[in-house]
Chains A and B, each alone.
Chain A
Amino acid sequence: MGRKRSKRSARKIGFWRRWSGLMWKLALVGLVALAGLAIYLDAVVQEKFSGKRWAVPAKVFARPLELYAGQQLSRDDFLTELSALGYRSVNAISQPGQMSASASRVDVYTRGFQSFEGSEPAQRISVRFSGPQVSALSGNGDVVMARLEPLMIGGIYPAHNEDRILVRLDQAPPYLVEALVAVEDREYFQHFGVSPKGIARAAYVNIVAGGVVQGGSTLTQQLVKNFYLSSERSLIRKGAEAMMAVLLELHYSKEEILEAYLNEVFLGQDGRRAVHGFGLASQYYFAQPLHELQLHQVALLVGMVKGPSLYNPRRQPERTKKRRDLVIQMLEEQGVISKEQAADAIEQPLDVTVRGSLADSNYPAFMDLIKRQLREDYQDEDLTSEGLRIFTSFDPLLQLKAEKAVASSLKNLGERANDMEAAVVVTGAQTGEVLALVGGRNPRFSGFNRALDASRPIGSLVKPAVYLTALEQPQNYSLISPVDDSPITLDAEPGKTWSPQNYSRQSHGVVPLHEALARSYNQATVRLGVDIGVDRVLQTIDRMGVRHGWPAYPAMLLGSGAMTPLQVTDMYQTLANGGFNTPLRAIRNVLTAEGDQLRRYPFEIEQRFDSATVFLMQEALSRVMTDGTGRSAYNQIPSSVRLAGKTGTTNDLRDSWFAGFSDDVVAVVWLGRDDNGQTRLTGATGALQVWTAFMAQAHPRSLSDAAPEGIVYAWVNRLTGEGSDPSCPDTVQVPFREGYQPLPGPGCRPLIDTAPVREGAGRVMDVIRGWLQ
């Protein structure tokens, strides 16, 4: 019986044993699997968190603005730059990032920065202005010079990429952490990654509200979701998220997690670029460094976390302000801020920068140039992920002036400007640094970059190369050598003849060399070019810095060869820089994210022409401006500013060019159509107008007339070109290459007969007679 009973019970126990055994096994397997998952997730959590957390795109900076007594900088330009950098106007400056402006003085508390050129301290300075110049600089102690931090002008992103500026937790402004915790996760500093209390509250709120209005995710979970997981919504993902949140909390401190959150969170979309992290958001919305943000700005950003496009302050200002004010109220309710602080903050406007202003603008043409130069030295991946900092020569103030010059000039041209395109290149005359670049009439549009890619016939812009080649033979040519502007017929391409015409369809006979250039006479230029040899002229263009590969047809003497505006700039740069060619540069330096210098782009020059010869060429080109085709520039620019330049017009008025320079700036302007249609503009009626409008605002420094070694001045008769004497009529002083000046002519007696001089001499004689007596 016992056996039977035991048999039965054994069967029963066996059943249970079998089941519980299975359960045990299953539980064990589950546990092992869970442990495995945990170990796997733990590895994932640690691996990504401990290494380089984010791919940070390279940042590109403008030049830092230098301040010193004597600097060419107007008060208005200075204020423009300060506001672009997000300096706030206050009554009395007390901390970095503040300014206070009066009529002729601006007080600034600079922010200070580190660059490859050494560190710049944050300091209080007073800048006094006199016209377009800094007249004095003062501060605590002796301030000889100071710099503003460089404006960030762009980054290098792959398509659809995240961008961010990494910040440390200690760089967070007051109330940022408090506000974030108050709004997104009240138990952040108490929970262990997930918050049952938070979930319960969210569930209750959602049930009461009858829909999902509040999430139960902790900040840690939000970080995990964005940082590790895809955006799919599933229960498994939710589970993994919770597990990873707990694991993350296990390994890292609350502060580390919070810092990662500050850098990870998505805060807006800028075209194809996603704005991540509070560091970049602060720059993107306020043009200020994060640590300077005030309560109302902090509240705005924290409010946006819930939905960056829903609460976009630029697109939805009213809705965003409501949300911001709600955040401020929550801070007040929790006792973080006082009632007065809250009221003050709610009074404040949104304060976001205006899109398209200097603070918030893009410069596609210049960035295009930078990218091309960088791609010669770096892999795309390094540029888009290593957080490199690229310092350039870009001058946002000159860029603004160039863009305005294009816009205003095209507007003045009226209907003629329909479908017309434009390109402008501005460089430092002595340094060869690219300061501004306009790639089309809409400078914000990143498409065809005409400054770099529109290769068009250059017309008369080529002529200086012809005259320079001539002046390099001082035994044969000087500025006053006679050249013959009369009809000429040449064999051009096989079987064809070519008879160049002047623009006016008239010939001018024998004229001095400088006049033929100043008035852009075609026939004189062709005769001169043929005499010295077309191939030599083409070699000269090569030496000026442009590899053209043009065939040696005579038509090249009048500019039927094509160049891009950047190439033209290279060519004229050599003339502006005393015969020294400088490869045009836009990048000054590249630093790693840690601030180590990765690569320098040093100033390099190469002498291609004798400085004395180039001085003669500058003299000739300055006569283009005073007596020739460039005259109209002086309608807007003071005649005391010596400038040099040349107009260029191509066949059937298709392209309108102007290239010219002052002592400090080279600017090249092209106007034309993308379809190469007629513009009905000459160089003077089109491009020169843009150039003049730009130069009038750029306050160029007058071209130096200090002659280099090897130049002598001699008196010559203006009409015959023969050596003369200052006492003779029609006599002018002309620079010559030393040793090739004409012999002085005899003095001219007739001048003695002029009455005032005779009277003066008589008086002197009376005095002398007085002494003798």
Chain B
Amino acid sequence: MGTKRIGLLAGCIMLLVGCAGSGGHIPVVDAGRAVSNEDLQTGAGRSGQPQIQPQAQQEQGGAVVVMVPDGEGGSSAIESYPLDSSPVSSQPAPGGTATGGNRLQDDEQLSGPVLALLTSARQQENGGDLNSASASLERALRIAPREPQVLYRLAQVRLDQGDAAQAEQLARRGLSYASGRPALQAGLWELVAQARERQGDSAGAATARQRARVAL
């Protein structure tokens, strides 16, 4: 009995050892960092700073939320944009000065400059200045070329500018970086669907909508 157990256990350990030594890496998020005064002063949202108390993301209407530092070591949402047409319900952000959304997973936290540019792009877009919004987003893209949220926003602006073909391409580029982020994938597929509709490709749009549903 003993030897049998030992064999079984050894087998399990072997597997663990094999995995550990494989080079296939498991993402490790250091989430237990102590809060220092400097953090309180500078706020979060800086590049590569793990959040102090990451909360599990609550799925909420498939919204992508842009976070801004609130000066208290945390991030709070200042704006959220729905990925589908349903309105986004808002809830008070805990400890934050602003309300309007939920916290994001670590990987969806944007670094300071990208966030700032996305925010100005949103303002420019609201003011009807699509060219400037596009310029801000391209600037953000140069800083964070692999950030699908930037590509998502740029695709949206292109769609508003009437360039459906580029909107589709940019959304597809975003999808290639959005692995493991289902809400964002769904939003990007939805954009692809809209862009295809504008280009008169209703079959393609239907396929994209299908993908959007699967992603969520």
Instruction: Report A's interface with B, CB cutoff 8 A.
Output: 66, 68-71, 116-118, 142, 144-145, 428-431, 433, 578-580, 589, 597, 600, 602-607, 611, 663-664, 704, 706-709, 713, 715, 725-727, 733, 747, 751-752, 757-758, 760-762, 764-765, 768
Residues A757 and B14 in contact in the complex (CB < 8 Å), given A118-B136, A430-B145, A704-B146: yes
B170 within 8 A of A: yes
B198 within 8 A of A: no
| Residue from the list B2, B15, B47, B177 in contact with A69, Cβ < 8 A | B47
B136 touches A602 (CB 8 A): no
Q: Interface size for chain B: under 10, 10 to 19, 20 to 34, or 35 or more residues?
A: 35 or more
Residues A727 and B169 in contact in the complex (CB < 8 Å), given A430-B146, A708-B176, A709-B179: no
Nearest residue, chain A, Cβ from B151 = A605
C-beta contact mask, B127-167 vs A, less than 8 Å → 1, else 0?
00001101110110111011000000010000000000010
- Once the chains are docked, how many angstroms separate the CA of A709 from the CA of B179? 6
B141 touches A761 (CB 8 A): no
Whole-angstrom distance from the CB of B123 to the nearest CB of chain A?
Answer: 10
A708 touches B6 (CB 8 A): no
B176 touches A611 (CB 8 A): yes
A607 touches B132 (CB 8 A): no
A431 touches B179 (CB 8 A): no
| Residue from the list B18, B19, B138 in contact with A603, Cβ < 8 A | B138
Q: Which residues of B contact A603 (CB under 8 A)?
A: 138, 141, 154
- Once the chains are docked, how many angstroms separate the CA of A685 from the CA of B22? 34
B131 touches A708 (CB 8 A): no
For the complex of A and B, list the 10 residue pairs with the smallest distance between their C-beta atoms, beginning with the closest: A430-B145, A726-B18, A70-B47, A611-B176, A68-B113, A145-B113, A761-B10, A144-B112, A144-B116, A117-B135
B99 within 8 A of A: no
17 A-B pairs within 8 Å (CB atoms) are namely A69-B47, A69-B111, A70-B47, A70-B111, A117-B139, A144-B112, A145-B113, A145-B116, A145-B117, A428-B142, A600-B131, A611-B176, A704-B146, A726-B19, A726-B22, A747-B11, A761-B10
B141 touches A713 (CB 8 A): no
A142 touches B43 (CB 8 A): yes
| Residue from the list A116, A663, A713, A765 in contact with B24, Cβ < 8 A | A713
Whole-angstrom distance from the CB of B179 to the nearest CB of chain A?
Answer: 5
Whole-angstrom distance from the CB of B147 to the nearest CB of chain A?
Answer: 11
- Once the chains are docked, how many angstroms separate the CA of A704 from the CA of B176? 13
A605 touches B169 (CB 8 A): yes
Q: Which residues of B contact A66 (CB under 8 A)?
A: 113, 139, 142-143
- Once the chains are docked, how many angstroms separate the CA of A602 from the CA of B132? 11
| Residue from the list A68, A663, A764 in contact with B112, Cβ < 8 A | A68
Instruction: Report B's interface with A, CB cutoff 8 A.
Output: 2, 5-7, 9-11, 13-15, 17-19, 22-24, 43, 46-48, 69, 111-113, 115-117, 120, 131-132, 134-136, 138-139, 141-143, 145-146, 154, 166, 169-170, 172-173, 175-177, 179
B142 touches A765 (CB 8 A): no
B173 touches A578 (CB 8 A): yes
| Residue from the list B111, B170, B176 in contact with A578, Cβ < 8 A | B176
| Residue from the list A433, A602, A664, A761 in contact with B9, Cβ < 8 A | A761
Nearest residue, chain B, Cβ from A117 = B135
Residues A597 and B47 in contact in the complex (CB < 8 Å), given A145-B113, A604-B166: no
Q: Which residues of B contact A430 (CB under 8 A)?
A: 141, 145-146
Nearest residue, chain B, Cβ from A615 = B176
Q: Contacts A428-B145, A429-B145, A752-B14 known; list 7 others, CB within 8 Å.
A: A117-B132, A144-B115, A580-B169, A600-B135, A606-B169, A752-B11, A757-B17
- Once the chains are docked, how many angstroms separate the CA of A733 from the CA of B13? 19
